Amino acid sequence: MDDCIFCKIIKGEIPSKKIYEDDEFLAFHDITPQAPVHFLVIPKRHIKNIMETESADSGLLGRLLVKAQELAQAQGCSEKGARFVINCKAHGGQTVDHLHCHVLGGRTLHWPPG
């Protein structure tokens, strides 16, 4: 998508503080962190939101969560844990129309989030 900010980050048109990249995913620090550890894991393939996935995407979704878990551990969240969040559409709090998983940790997170 030409107007998608995350697609532009993937292409290198917008800088990001990357923590991981492979052929399928990119992970980078959130520009407005809500916790000491706050990064996003996104698929490089543009998928607007989780409601637009199909059963054929189940492997990608599983790999995304496993990669998020691995990176959370690498960022120091193994012992005390982290929160993994996928917002969807306006009512779910999604602000960028590209599927992404927020990983937050490094402090106690309360529920409901606010």
Q: Is 100 a catalytic residue?
A: yes
Nearest to 65 by CA among 86, 79, 46: 86
Helix (H) or strand (E) holding 41: strand 37-43
Given the residues 38, 91, 98, 100, the one annotated as active site: 100
Rounded Cα–Cα distance for residues 90 and 99 (Å): 13
Strand partners, 26: 21, 42
Query: How long a stretch of residues is the chain?
Result: 114
Rounded Cα–Cα distance for residues 52 and 97 (Å): 11
- Which residues belong to the active site? 100
